[in-house]
A and B are shown apart, each in its own frame.
Chain A
Amino acid sequence: MRLRLRARPTGRPGRGAQRLGPGGCWATVDSMGKKQMLSRLALGGFRRWISEWVKRHICGTFEFGNDIPLSRPKKKKLKGKNTLASPSEDLAEPAVDRPSEGSEPLTEELKEAPVQRRQKKKRPSLELETSFTQKKTSSSSILRNENGIDGGPTEEAVVLKPRRKKKKTQPTELQYANELGVEDEDILTDEQGSPEQQSVFTAPTGVSQPVGKVFVEKNRRFQATDRAELIKTTENIDVSVDIKPFWTTRDVALSVHRAFRMIGLFSHGFLAGCAVWNIVVIYVLAGDQLSNLSNLLQQYKTLAYPFQCLLYLLLALSTVSAFDRIDFAKTSVAIRNFFALDPTALASFLYFTALTLSLSQQMTSDRIHLYTPSSVNGSLWAEGIEQQILQPWIVVNLVVALLVGLSWLFLSYRPGMDLSEELMFSSDVEEYPDNDKGVKVSA
């Protein structure tokens, strides 16, 4: 899972190797070091040599300059170890640790790292680690030769960079967005550090630049990914996560309420049209002055009951919708609106009346549905009874059509009016600040 860059996390350096920086990387001692040692012996005397020896052997640290206090590299060394153990502390690390002149070639090296890893996948992990370290060490010595500077801090950068990348491979992708961006404080435009650190032998920290690639571990391999792309994808995830919480139960309720209002609006118009069509058909079939009632019965008997059922369905929908509009459950408001001759309140009253009237004709509708001429045995329609039964039925149907038509007109006068929504949902808004306060306090 983790990209290991240290060959020997603990212990003393091996033969022919010296510690260079706090990152725990090792480099071979070259002849230059020995020459320097000799010259110093000549110049500084025996006492100085002793202190150098103590520094080198007791602290296990080799420094080209004597000005740097003994404790500093040790501290760095510990820090390096700690950061490996707990990567979360990496973030708090100061930007001074990230020089950048060496960062570009090192990045290239890092690009090679996955390839190398792929090639040596089957080797034991220890071998892999060692080889990787050797490669790194050699590259650092090259760097030193090219730039003519100490590779100490550069080595540090080598170690720190992958550690950062390692963090990015963690499954909690939400951390990406913050981490992937290049912070200003990460980029060094000038040398920083205390005068103590800016001694002759200390490595100058160059101008740092952001690296365009991010290495993400996929299928146990690190693959180079464009920083911008990764940021884009993580931002998209954030957006989708952010949208969801806004769709609350209240919104669901409100959308259902509005959907039903639309159905109601449709049923108002459809019902008015149906009722008018029905009464027109009845009068046409009944003829002038209701003279041809037997014709009406014969023609209309197949239609009577289905229409009665459809009328009930539409009336029920329209009544519920009209009640919704005046918020019928709050009786005081509804009655006040009715006496104030509010069109919506009137319409709901008319719908309820129409519903009652229509239901009262159920028996007659069933009788028409079961119509057989009086000559047939067991007929429900005795001779001369037709006028007596049908006349009130036609009148009631006419009244229902008028009521329904009027209600539709009243509702059309103010189609957007909906007291339920105003009282049930909008009133909540005033109380929401209190609500939020309560939540904050509890949180």
Chain B
Amino acid sequence: MLQTGNYSLVLSLQFLLLSYDLFVNSFSELLRMAPVIQLVLFIIQDIAILFNIIIIFLMFFNTFVFQAGLVNLLFHKFKGTIVLTAIYFALSISLHVWVMNLRWKNSNSFVWTDGLQTLFVFQRLAAVLYCYFYKRTAVRLGDPRFYQDSLWLRKEFMQVRR
């Protein structure tokens, strides 16, 4: 059974990483006095996303549903989060690489092209959706039903099998 203290700690860590992600997405364009600053911010942001993925998977592994072998049920329930997080991670890394590549020589230059703008819009939209889905999943995993056997679980299992 998941302990309240542990869950609170994990949840606060997840929210901290999400807040950092939102902060960098919002203000990284302003913090470009030197290219290194942006580089460090981007690297930490990508690591934060990776950490969040690891944490959410560890939370999955900790559930009774997973330990009972019903991995399929868990992935079925949270596939939106898993897929979106993967997409966002890929979009973030590609945008960061592209932006840093263009701004490495002169961080204060106008580097925008239509392609970069498009990628930027998609990455930022994915960030909002990722934030929503990730937050929802983290909060939902606090439900005690995921950590014990119940009729609900059996019912869900039957639904997935159909």
A residues neighboring B (CB under 8 Å): 247-253, 256-257, 260, 305-306, 308-310, 312-313, 315-317, 319-320, 323-324, 328-329, 355-356, 359-360, 362-363, 366-367, 370, 380, 420, 424, 428, 431, 434-435, 437-439, 442
Asked if A362 and B139 sit within 8 Å, CB to CB, the answer is no
- In the assembled complex, 15 residue pairs joining A and B whose CB atoms fall closer than 8 Å, in A order, are A249-B2, A251-B4, A252-B8, A252-B142, A253-B11, A253-B140, A312-B25, A313-B27, A320-B128, A356-B125, A362-B120, A363-B117, A367-B110, A370-B108, A442-B149
With known contacts A247-B4, A329-B136, A428–B26 Cβ distance under 8 A? no
Q: Say how far B128's CB is from chain A's closest CB, in angstroms.
A: 5
Separation of A370 and B30 alpha carbons in the complex (Å): 12
Asked if B27 and A309 sit within 8 Å, CB to CB, the answer is yes
Q: Across the A-B interface, how many residue pairs have beta carbons closer than 8 Å?
A: 124
**Closest B residue to A439 using CB positions:** B148
Residue of A256, A312, A313, A420 near B11 (CB, 8 A) is: A256
CB of B17 closer than 8 Å to a CB of A: no
Residues of B within 8 A of A424 (CB): 136, 139-140, 143
Separation of A431 and B156 alpha carbons in the complex (Å): 12
Residues of B within 8 A of A380 (CB): 110
Asked if A435 and B151 sit within 8 Å, CB to CB, the answer is yes
Q: By DSSP majority rule, is chain B's interface helix, strand, loop, or mixed? A: helix
Asked if A306 and B112 sit within 8 Å, CB to CB, the answer is no
Separation of A305 and B112 alpha carbons in the complex (Å): 14
With known contacts A316-B128, A324-B132, A324-B136, A252–B7 Cβ distance under 8 A? yes
**Closest A residue to B114 using CB positions:** A363
Separation of A256 and B8 alpha carbons in the complex (Å): 9
Which of chain B's residues 75-98 have a Cβ closer than 8 Å to chain A?
80
Residues of A within 8 A of B143 (CB): 249-250, 253, 424, 428
With known contacts A248-B144, A253-B143, A362–B149 Cβ distance under 8 A? no
Residue of A247, A320, A363 near B135 (CB, 8 A) is: A320
Residues of A within 8 A of B140 (CB): 253, 424
Separation of A431 and B131 alpha carbons in the complex (Å): 29
Q: Say how far A249's CB is from chain B's closest CB, in angstroms.
A: 4
Q: Say how far A319's CB is from chain B's closest CB, in angstroms.
A: 5
Asked if B25 and A260 sit within 8 Å, CB to CB, the answer is no
B residues neighboring A (CB under 8 Å): 2-4, 7-8, 11, 15, 22-23, 25-27, 29-30, 80, 108, 110, 112, 117, 120-121, 124-125, 127-128, 131-133, 135-136, 139-145, 148-152
**Closest A residue to B121 using CB positions:** A359
Q: Say how far B59's CB is from chain A's closest CB, in angstroms.
A: 11
With known contacts A253-B143, A305-B30, A431–B121 Cβ distance under 8 A? no
Residues of B within 8 A of A366 (CB): 29, 110, 112
Residues of A within 8 A of B120 (CB): 359, 362
Residues of B within 8 A of A439 (CB): 148
Q: Say how far B92's CB is from chain A's closest CB, in angstroms.
A: 14
Q: Say how far A358's CB is from chain B's closest CB, in angstroms.
A: 9
Asked if B29 and A305 sit within 8 Å, CB to CB, the answer is yes
Known: A323-B132, A324-B136, A424-B139. 12 other contacts (CB 8 A): A248-B4, A249-B142, A310-B26, A313-B22, A313-B23, A319-B128, A355-B128, A360-B117, A362-B121, A367-B110, A370-B108, A431-B151
Residue of B128, B142, B150 near A434 (CB, 8 A) is: B150
Separation of A385 and B42 alpha carbons in the complex (Å): 34
Q: Say how far B111's CB is from chain A's closest CB, in angstroms.
A: 9
**Closest A residue to B152 using CB positions:** A431
Residues of B within 8 A of A431 (CB): 145, 150-152
**Closest A residue to B31 using CB positions:** A309
Separation of A359 and B142 alpha carbons in the complex (Å): 34
Residues of A within 8 A of B8 (CB): 252
Asked if B22 and A252 sit within 8 Å, CB to CB, the answer is no
Separation of A362 and B23 alpha carbons in the complex (Å): 16
Residues of A within 8 A of B152 (CB): 431, 434-435
Residues of A within 8 A of B29 (CB): 305, 308-309, 362, 366
Asked if B117 and A362 sit within 8 Å, CB to CB, the answer is yes
Residues of B within 8 A of A323 (CB): 132
Asked if B117 and A309 sit within 8 Å, CB to CB, the answer is no
With known contacts A252-B4, A313-B26, A320-B131, A257–B121 Cβ distance under 8 A? no
Residue of B26, B108, B132, B144 near A312 (CB, 8 A) is: B26
